[in-house]
Amino acid sequence: MNDDSWAGDLVARSGTWPSLRSESHHPAFVRCMAARLALEAMQIEKTARVAAHEVWEESTRPHRLPGPAARAI
């Protein structure tokens, strides 16, 4: 979770989840939170794609045996 996320900030400040107040159900608020969550989900998916690509590259790269100098050490 990002440090600037809504839920993380309130939990860090109060130590508990905020009560469900009427303004938390306002349509503009819900749209804003949905947009933030969608952005965070896209960032997580991008990180996962990059990591999966790196793992794939590592697993398909031919492994080299250590050279004579490396074996002597």
Say if 14 falls within a structural domain. Answer: no
Length of the chain: 73
Are residues 36 and 9 in contact, defined by beta-carbon separation less than 8 angstroms?
Answer: no
Q: What is the pLDDT of residue 61?
A: 78
Say if 16 falls within a structural domain. Answer: no
Say if 8 falls within a structural domain. Answer: no
Dist. CA 7–CA 36, nearest whole Å: 11
Domain housing 37: 22-60
Residue 22: pLDDT band with limits 50, 70, 90: low
Express each pLDDT in 30-71 by its tens digit: 999 999 999 999 999 999 999 999 998 888 877 776 666 655
Say if 48 falls within a structural domain. Answer: yes
- DSSP secondary structure string for all residues of 40-71: HHHHHHHHHHHHHHHHHHHHHSPPPPP-HHHH
Q: What is the pLDDT of residue 10?
A: 47
Say if 45 falls within a structural domain. Answer: yes
Number of domains in the chain: 1
Say if 13 falls within a structural domain. Answer: no
